[in-house]
């Protein structure tokens, strides 16, 4: 367990690292990433189709209890956040693309994970809306398995 001081220091260290990464970026880096939208599309597909499927498959493969399977699927639906940017920076990857993915994915995941948690418990939402988000569908499946137990 982390103490209050350690938690504060970790937050400060993350801010310093993010400031350092941001200082190394120029607007041209982002223009280059915008000119090649294929990277963003691959990231979107990976985050919202492949990752939830892998979480679901891993839960089945490991034979996890329904509550743990629901947690794994929910974690698989979440974006990497600032940690992915740090790893991209240290591995000399395309940092502008990683930052753009974080900018796109984080607000979207707030909506999709909220929908994922609300939709299974709401019967009055039209069927088409319930199936509009892959993460919501995966999470609903896990919730259904928990309810059956």
Structure tokens at 21: 């990464």
| Residue 80 predicted with pLDDT over 80 | no
Percent pLDDT > 90 in the chain is 5
Residue 108: predicted pLDDT: 74
Q: Three-class SS of residue 58? A: helix
Q: How far, rounded to the nearest angstrom, does the alpha carbon of residue 120 sit from its chain's CA centroid? A: 20
For residues 129-138, average pLDDT: 49
| Model pLDDT for residues 13-35, shown as the tens digit of each residue | 888 888 888 788 888 888 887 88
pLDDT of residue 130: 45
Residue 93 has pLDDT above 60, yes or no: yes
* Distance, CA of 6 to CA of 10 (rounded, Å): 6
C-alpha angle 119-125-127 in degrees, rounded to nearest 5:
95
The angle formed by the CA atoms of residues 39, 42 and 44, to the nearest 5 degrees, is 110
55 near 94, Cβ under 8 Å? no
Closest C-alpha to 33, from 25, 23, 45: 25
Q: Is the pLDDT of residue 141 over 80?
A: no
Of all helices (H) and strands (E), which one includes residue 43? helix 38-45
């Amino acid at each position: 367990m982390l103490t209050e001081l350690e938690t504060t220091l970790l937050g400060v260290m993350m801010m310093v690292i993010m400031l350092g990464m941001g200082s190394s970026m120029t607007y041209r880096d982002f223009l280059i990433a915008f000119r090649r939208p294929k990277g963003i599309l691959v990231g979107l597909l990976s985050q919202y189709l492949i990752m939830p499927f892998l979480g679901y498959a891993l839960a089945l493969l490991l034979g996890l209890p329904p509550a743990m399977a629901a947690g794994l699927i929910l974690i698989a639906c979440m974006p990497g956040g600032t940690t992915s940017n740090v790893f991209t920076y240290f591995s000399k990857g395309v940092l502008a693309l990683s930052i753009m993915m974080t900018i796109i994915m984080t607000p979207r995941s707030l909506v999709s994970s909220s929908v994922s948690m609300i939709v299974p418990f709401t019967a009055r939402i039209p069927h088409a809306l319930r199936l509009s988000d892959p993460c919501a569908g995966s999470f609903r499946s896990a919730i259904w398995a928990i309810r059956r137990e």
